[in-house]
Structure 1
Amino acid sequence: MATRRSVEVYLDLLSQPCRAVHILLSCTGIPHTVRTVALRKGENRTPDFTKLNPMQKVPVLEDNGFVLTESDAIMKYLSTRYDVPEHWYPRQPERRARVDEYTAWHHTNTRPHAAKVFILEVLIPVQTGSAVDEVRLFRALSELEDTLDRLESMFLRRQPFLCGDDISVADLLAVCELMQPLGGGRDVLQQRPQLQRWRSRVQSAVGDAFDRAHAVLYAVRDRRTAKL
């Protein structure tokens, strides 16, 4: 039997979508090589990386000359291209459509709303030396609360994972976004027992891959906590 090729992925694990890709690769055993691209050092703007992805964003996948950007597309490609458990991206049309439904919604809801909290509470103060804009932060937290309401009422309902009875790429994309505010010491699920139980199920399903992917974020949190 032919040996599977090792795919290359360009990642910065402070990036939520990069962590989702990293966890999927770790859990599925797809042979891969991680190329670290440090966004804080501007490595995404180098000429070589810009040739790979003119958008200068991570993650990027390179598979035997095939280059693909965007985490959603990368995760679905990996799940389709390689022999991985079907639950990650089901082949049955209705089940697959449920995953697609969430991931389409994700990009204008979970992703921007959780990210904004981290940006306002951590990134902007670090980059500018200014205090947190409490008015903007309050507004961002309110928008995120609306998203969390939808996650509970529309997607989770009474099922264990966002798109059914088993974990999928949708859960990875979502959980990595909702972990991001933890970099500022804020657990946005603290008052959400239903979502806390879901997060615990995701962590159990992926095992050590979860904490390995989030080690950089934990370090940001710990440094910030030490300064307070």
Structure 2
Amino acid sequence: MGLELYLDLLSQPCRAVYIFAKRNGIPFELRPVELRKGGLGLGLGPEGSGRPNTAQGDAGRQPLLGARAEKGQHLSDAFAQVNPLKKVPALRDGDFTLTESVAILLYLNRKYKVPDHWYPQDLQACARVDEYLAWQHTTLRRNCLRALWHKVMFPVFLGEPVSPEMLAATLAELDATLQLLEDKFLQNKAFLTGPHISLADLIAITELMHPVGAGCQIFEGRPKLAAWRRRVEAAVGEDLFQEAHEVILKAKDSPPADPIIKQKLMPRVLAMIQ
């Protein structure tokens, strides 16, 4: 068995892993997961080939894992062997399993010897990428996630109203974080850590597409950040970028959650976005 990636492209870390693997021609089997069908863990759905230079459209889709691809499989003992936390992303490479998106990205970077600009060998250039990766978990990721849930997923998907005051506070916090992203990391550079795209840029853009999927115009009035977004899209490939973000850009059209799914989701979502 070759490299397998368990991903749901609704998830921003999953999108980063997916784009990185595809952009660098890393052969993998995609094990799709649906976060909205069984909790924040996974509900494995139809499979698409993750191999490079292979069409990802409907014609290329196949059933995943045969009869085992059923709703709720993420709760199974089989998936728990890949990730005991039953969350995505997850990687299985033969007998080796790995969780956490940054760890997965670094593993792929080292194993497949991708171009140096993704995670430079130069000590100080590498430290700049590490600095961003250490910063983003509790800042940009948190605020982008809260913006999506407060603006769309709670009222539309779960049918739970969000007060105007809470939504305003969430968006104000996001705006402050975007300013910090510009002032501290982007500054006047082409990319967040230097003249070339790195893992920092890839992880950042996938986070920012969460509020974009919620309808937030976060790049309006921020020409520096908007220009950076265009450079990142061009560097990874616009077609791949759009493919990876197709699901999140349709988040506003999510149908209401099944009551049973809602009951499972609510306590875990509330804990996640506090």
- Give the TM-score normalised by structure 2: 0.76
Give the match for residue 201 of structure 2.
Answer: 171
How far 1:147 sits from its partner (Å)? Answer: 1.0
Matched, 1:27 2:58: no
Residue 47 of structure 1 pairs with residue 97 of structure 2: no
For 1:25, the aligned partner's letter is: A
| Correspondences of 1:119-198 after superposition (within 5 Å) | 119-198=149-228
Q: C-alpha separation between the residues in 2 aligned to 1:187 and 1:63?
A: 39
Matching residue's letter, 2:248: L
The 4+ residue runs of structure 1 with deviation greater than 6 A are: none
Structure 2: unaligned runs, 5 residues or longer: 44-73, 255-274
Q: Secondary structure at the match of 1:41?
A: coil
Residue 38 of structure 1: CA displacement? 1.1
Contact 1:80 1:89 in 2 (8 A): no
Other structure's SS at 1:13 match? coil
What residue in structure 2 maps to residue 215 of structure 1? Answer: 246
Percent of counterpart pairs with the same letter? 47
Higher normalized helix content (fraction of residues): 1
Matched, 1:115 2:115: no
| Separation in structure 1 between the aligned mates of residue 85 and residue 186 of structure 2, nearest angstrom | 33
Q: SS at the partner of 1:49?
A: helix
**2:34 equivalent among 14, 31, 38:** 38
The match for 2:96 is 66
Q: Deviations over 1:163-212 (max 9, x none)?
A: 11100111111101111112222222222111111111000001121111
SS of 2:92's equivalent in the other structure is strand
Cα 1:45/1:136, change in 2 over 3 Å: farther
Q: Write the distance in 1 (CA, Å) between the matches of 2:141 and 2:75.
A: 23
Matched, 1:201 2:231: yes
| Paired amino acid for 1:20 | A
Structure 1: segments with no counterpart, 5+ residues = none
Q: Match for 1:190: what amino acid?
A: E
Closer/same/farther in 2, CA of residues 40 and 128 from structure 1, 3 Å limit: closer
Once the two structures are superposed, residues 30-53 of structure 1 have per-residue CA deviations (whole angstroms, 9 ceiling, x without a partner) of 111110111111123333222321
In 1, the alpha carbon distance for the partners of 2:169 and 2:133 equals 24
Q: Deviations over 1:54-94 (max 9, x none)?
A: 11210001112211111111111111111211111111111
SS at match of 2:247: helix
Whole-Å separation in 2 of the counterparts to 1:170 and 1:51: 29
Displacement of 1:130 after TM fit?
Answer: 3.0
Give the number of aligned pairs. 219
Match status 1:18 vs 2:6: no
Q: Using the alignment, how far apart are the partners of 2:171 and 2:247 within structure 1?
A: 23
Tell me, yes or no, if the aligned pair for 1:184 and 1:220 is still in contact at 8 Å.
yes
